[in-house]
Amino acid sequence: MAECPEVAVDINRLRHGQVFHYLASAAEPEPRLGMRVLVPFGSKTVQGWVVGYSAPPEGIALRSILSVVGQEPDFNPELLSLARWMAGYYLHPLSEMLKLIAPPPKPLLSRKRAPSEGMSTAGNHGRLLLSDEQATALKEIDVALRAGAGGEFLLHGITGSGKTEVYLRSAMTALALGRQALYLVPEIALTPQAGAWFRSALGDQVAIWHSRLARGEKYEIWEGIRQGRLGVLIGPRSAVFAPFKNLGLIIIDEEQDSSYKQQESPYYHAGQVAAQRALYNRAVLLMGSATPSLESYTVARSGQYRLLRLTRRPRGRQLPRVTIVDLKTERRAQFSLLSQSLSGKIAQRLQHQEQVILLLNRRGYSPIVFCPLCGHVLKCERCSVSLVYHRNTGDLRCHYCNFRRSLPSSCPGCGADRSLRFLGTGIQRVEHSLKRLYPEARIQRLDFDTTRRKGDFDRILTSFGGRQIDILLGTQMVAKGHDFPGVTLVGVLNADLALGLPDYRSTERTYQLLAQVAGRAGRGRAPGEVVVQTYWPDHYSIRAACFGSYVSFYQEEIKNRALAGYPPFGELIRVRVSGAKEQQVIDRSTELAEDLAGLLTGQEAQLLGPAPAPVLRLKDQFRWQLMIKGKSGVLKDKISDVIQRFQKNTSVIISIEVDPYGF
Ligand code: ADP
Ligand code: ZN
C-alpha cells in the first residue's frame, strides 16, 4: 500500500512513541509534515499531528483525517525528531511531548512588540580586556564555532571568574557567522544582569523568554526566532524548544541547576534536550558552572566534553575567606541560629556600611508545631508531613500542597490550653531575632513567601543592589548568580539542612549551595568573608565547599556514587504508583514489581522496592515507588510495555520518571 500520514493523536494513555495511520481527507489538500489535524479516534474526534508518512500495516481499515488545522506546520522536521527522541527517552506519549514543544498560539489581534522591561543597556561588556584564561577558553570555542561541526564544552570556572563574558563573546562569534544562539539560565528572574549584558553588547536581536510574557509577546518571539530575525534567545528551560532557523550555539549556565529538570509530567531535562538539538544542528554546546554536576564532570574527565577552566577572578579579586562555626559548641546559636561569632561580624559589617547576605534554606517561622504534654505534632490533613508555622500570617501551612489552617489555641491531641510549642528555626524566626539584634539595620527576607507577586523578586534585588537593604536574608534564592559588589559577608546559618534528605544527590546539593552562596561575597573592591555554621564541620561536602576545592569534593563523592551504583555509573528509572486507597496502591505496586522483576532477570539492572515514597501521602494520594537501577537504557521499550499493559487494567495511576530528581 502507498504511504499514508502517521498521526500522533492527542490521547494521554498511549504507549510512548505510538502513532496511527490515517488516509488523507478527499476534501482537503494532503497535510504537510508537522501540521495539526483533527481525526476520528474511537467514537471521538481528537487532535493530532502529522509526524511522518509510511505504509500502514496490511489488513487494517484506515479512517480518514477529518480536517487540517491552520495553514502552516506547527513543527519543523528537527522539532518533530526531537519530540520522537523525547517520547522514546522519557517513555512518554508523543503527543504530550509535541504539546510541550508546540508554538504559542497566534494572538487574534496582532500587536506591536512590547518594549522589554527593566533592561539597562549600560556597561562595557563584550569590550572588556579578557583575562588569559578567558581568552584561552574562548579560542577553543571559537575554533569549534568556525569549523561548524559542533562540539561539547564544559566551562568550569569558579564563582566570579567571568563566565558570562565567555558566553557573551561566544554568542557574538556565532552571530557573526550568521548563526543563532540559545542561552539557557536556571530561572530568568535570577539573572537580571545577563539580559542587560547581552542587550548592551548585541542590541535588540536579543530576546528574553519567560513564562510571564503575554501570549502575543511569546508568539512574536517564536516567530522572530523561526524567521531568523532574532539572533539570541535567553530563557529558562522552556526556551530550549524554540524553533531556531539556524542554531549554532547553546549555552547552559549553571548546568548543574535542578531547575533544568521539569519535575512534573511530562518530565524532561533541558540539558539533555539541548544536547540533542546541538547534535542535530551541529551546534556548539557550552555548559558552564562553578560546581559542575557529577555527571557532566565525569564526562568531561573522560574527554568526551572539552574541559575549559577559569581558576581566578579577574582584576585580582580574591575568593572570600571562610570560617566554619561548629553549632554543637555554640550554645546561643541553637535557638536563633545566630552564633556569637557570626552576629559579631554582622555588627562590624553594618558599622562599615557594607552589605550582608544570610542563607537559611527553610521557609516559615518554625517547621514543627507540637504539644510537649502529649507529643502531638500538627500535620497536614492531606499529606504525611508536618505543618509549618508562618508568623507573619499567623497560620500553619503545608509546604507540599499549600493547605492552611489557623494556629489552634489548644492542642488538638489532648485539648490542653495554649500548650503548643514551636520546634526548630525557619527563616522568619531568624528575621525576628535579627530585627531585635540590629534595630537600625534594613533587613529584607527573600523567599517564596516574599516573592509571590510579579516583580517582587526584581524589586528586592534592585533595592539590595542600590544599597537600600543592609541584610538580605533568604532561602536558596540568594545563592545564585547575583553580582553585588557591596556584599562583604555571607553567613550560612545551617549548612546541614539538605544533608539528611533521602536523595542520592543531597550531598552534591549541599556542596553546590554552599559554594554558590559563598561566591556572592567579595565581588567588589573590599575583600569578602564567609561564615558557615554547621553541626557537621568535618563533612567532606562542607569542607570542600568552604575551602573552594571542587576536585576534592568530586573525588570523594564519585566514590560513593560508584559504590552505590548511582548516576553516572548506572541509570535510574522511577516508577510511581499512586491512588486514594493505600492498600490498593501497595497491592498494585507489588504486582507491578513482580512483572518488572521478570523482565530484569539476567539483565544488568536491578529492581528496588516497592517502597513508600518519602512523602507517602500527598494531596490525599498514597504513593509507593519502584526504582530500576543499572543498565536500564536498552530495556526501556520493554519496561514501558509492561507498565502500559499493567495500567490498562487498574485504577491506580502509574507514572514513569527517567533520571528522576528529588526523592
Ligand atoms: P561568573 O559568572 O563566573 O560567576 P561573572 O561573569 O558574573 O562571573 O563575572 C564576575 C565579574 O567580573 C563581573 O562583574 C564582570 O563584569 C567582571 N569581569 C569579567 N571578565 C572580566 C575581565 N576580563 N576584566 C575585568 N572584569 C571582568
Ligand atoms: Zn499538604
**pLDDT 10s digits, 19-64:** 999 998 877 778 899 999 999 999 999 999 999 999 998 888 899 9
pLDDT at 71: 87
Minimal-distance CA residue to ligand 1 atom 17:
162
Distance CA 155, CA 134 (A): 10
Cell of 246: 539556524
Minimal-distance CA residue to ligand 1 atom 26:
314
Name the helix (H) or strand (E) containing 4.
strand 4-9
pLDDT at 115: 46
pLDDT at 124: 64
Distance CA 13, CA 540 (A): 45
Q: Is the peptide bond before 105 cis (omega within 30 degrees of 0)?
A: no
φ, ψ (nearest 5 deg) of residue 71: -100, -25
Choose one of 125, 132, 164 to mutate for the ligand 1 pocket test, by most ligand atoms within 8 angstroms of C-beta: 164
CA-CA-CA-CA torsion sign (435, 438, 444, 447)? negative
* C-alpha closest to that of 177 among 167, 169, 166: 169
What SS3 class is residue 379?
A: strand
Among 182-186, 506-510, 659-663, the minimum mean pLDDT is found in 659-663
What average pLDDT does the chain have? 89
Among 7-21, 188-202, 444-458, 617-631, the minimum mean pLDDT is found in 188-202
Buried b (16+ CB within 10 A) or exposed e, 578-587: bbeeeeebbb
Compute, in angstroms, the gap from residue 404 CA to the centroid of ligand 2: 8
**pLDDT, tens digit, 9 for 90 and up, residues 71-123:** 899 999 999 999 999 999 999 999 999 999 999 988 876 655 544 444 444 45
DSSP β-bridge partners for residue 404 = 397
Confidence of residue 333 (pLDDT cuts 50, 70, 90): low
Atom of ligand 1 nearest to the CA of 483: 7
Residue 623, pLDDT > 80, answer yes
Q: Which ligand is nearest to the CA of 386?
A: 2
Q: Which ligand is nearest to the CA of 618?
A: 2
Q: Are 300 and 292 in contact (CB under 8 A)?
A: yes
Q: Which ligand is nearest to the CA of 483?
A: 1
Q: 550-564 and 506-518 are packed helices; what angle lies between their axes, rounded to 10 degrees?
A: 170
Residue 332, pLDDT > 70, answer no
Q: What is the pLDDT averaged over residues 352-374?
A: 93
Confidence of residue 335 (pLDDT cuts 50, 70, 90): low
pLDDT at 120: 44
CA-CA-CA-CA torsion sign (361, 365, 366, 369)? negative
φ, ψ (nearest 5 deg) of residue 117: -80, 150
Q: Are 74 and 102 in contact (CB under 8 A)?
A: yes
Torsion of CA 147, 150, 152, 153, to 10 degrees: 40
What SS3 class is residue 195?
A: helix
Residues 6+ apart with CB under 8 A from 328: 535
Q: Which domains does the chain have, with CATH numbers?
A: 4-100 (3.40.1440.60), 130-314 (3.40.50.300), 317-362+425-562 (3.40.50.300), 571-658 (3.30.70.600)
Q: Are 37 and 48 in contact (CB under 8 A)?
A: yes
Compute, in angstroms, the gap from residue 478 CA to the centroid of ligand 2: 26
Cell of 656: 514513569
* C-alpha closest to that of 257 among 328, 163, 172, 186: 186
Minimal-distance CA residue to ligand 1 atom 10:
160
DSSP β-bridge partners for residue 474 = 359, 446
Confidence of residue 192 (pLDDT cuts 50, 70, 90): low
pLDDT at 110: 61
Compute, in angstroms, the gap from residue 318 CA to the centroid of ligand 1: 13
Q: What is the pLDDT averaged over residues 158-176?
A: 94
Residue 184, pLDDT > 50, answer yes
φ, ψ (nearest 5 deg) of residue 507: -65, -45
Distance CA 542, CA 473 (A): 20
pLDDT at 663: 62
Compute, in angstroms, the gap from residue 387 CA to the centroid of ligand 2: 8
Residues 6+ apart with CB under 8 A from 322: 518, 529, 530, 531, 532, 546, 547, 548
Cell of 27: 476534501
Cell of 588: 498494585
Compute, in angstroms, the gap from residue 431 CA to the centroid of ligand 2: 25
Q: Is the peptide bond before 292 cis (omega within 30 degrees of 0)?
A: no
DSSP β-bridge partners for residue 396 = 389, 405
Q: Which pairs from 130-133 meet CB under 8 Å and 24+ separation?
A: 130/165, 130/169, 131/162, 131/310, 131/312, 131/314, 133/157, 133/161, 133/309, 133/310, 133/311, 133/312
Atom of ligand 1 nearest to the CA of 310: 3
Distance CA 317, CA 322 (A): 15
Atom of ligand 1 nearest to the CA of 159: 4
Q: Which pairs from 635-639 meet CB under 8 Å and 24+ separation?
A: 635/599, 635/600, 635/603, 635/605, 636/88, 636/89, 636/91, 636/573, 637/88, 638/599, 639/91, 639/573, 639/596, 639/599
Distance CA 599, CA 192 (A): 49
Cα of 15 vs its chain's centroid, Å: 27
Cell of 71: 495553514
Name the helix (H) or strand (E) containing 359.
strand 355-359
pLDDT at 585: 94
Compute, in angstroms, the gap from residue 166 CA to the centroid of ligand 1: 9
Q: What angle do CA 381, 387, 392 make, to 5 degrees?
A: 125
Minimal-distance CA residue to ligand 1 atom 18:
162
Report the pocket of ligand 1 as residue ranges, CB < 6 Å.
Answer: 128-131, 134, 157, 159-165, 314-315, 483
What SS3 class is residue 426?
A: coil
pLDDT at 245: 97
Q: What is the pLDDT averaged over residues 275-295?
A: 97
Atom of ligand 1 nearest to the CA of 519: 4
Minimal-distance CA residue to ligand 1 atom 20:
162
Residues 6+ apart with CB under 8 A from 625: 574, 575, 576, 577, 589, 609, 610, 611, 612, 613
Cell of 140: 577553543
Choose one of 165, 166, 185, 308 to mutate for the ligand 1 pocket test, by most ligand atoms within 8 angstroms of C-beta: 165
Distance CA 41, CA 48 (A): 10
Q: Which ligand is nearest to the CA of 160?
A: 1
What SS3 class is residue 398?
A: coil
Distance CA 307, CA 154 (A): 5
Compute, in angstroms, the gap from residue 536 CA to the centroid of ligand 1: 33
pLDDT at 499: 76
Distance CA 90, CA 82 (A): 12
Residue 1, pLDDT > 70, answer no
* C-alpha closest to that of 68 among 109, 92, 34: 34
Q: Are 647 and 575 in contact (CB under 8 A)?
A: no
Compute, in angstroms, the gap from residue 501 CA to the centroid of ligand 2: 19
Q: What is the pLDDT averaged over residues 144-151?
A: 96
Q: How many residues does the chain have?
A: 663
Compute, in angstroms, the gap from residue 385 CA to the centroid of ligand 2: 7
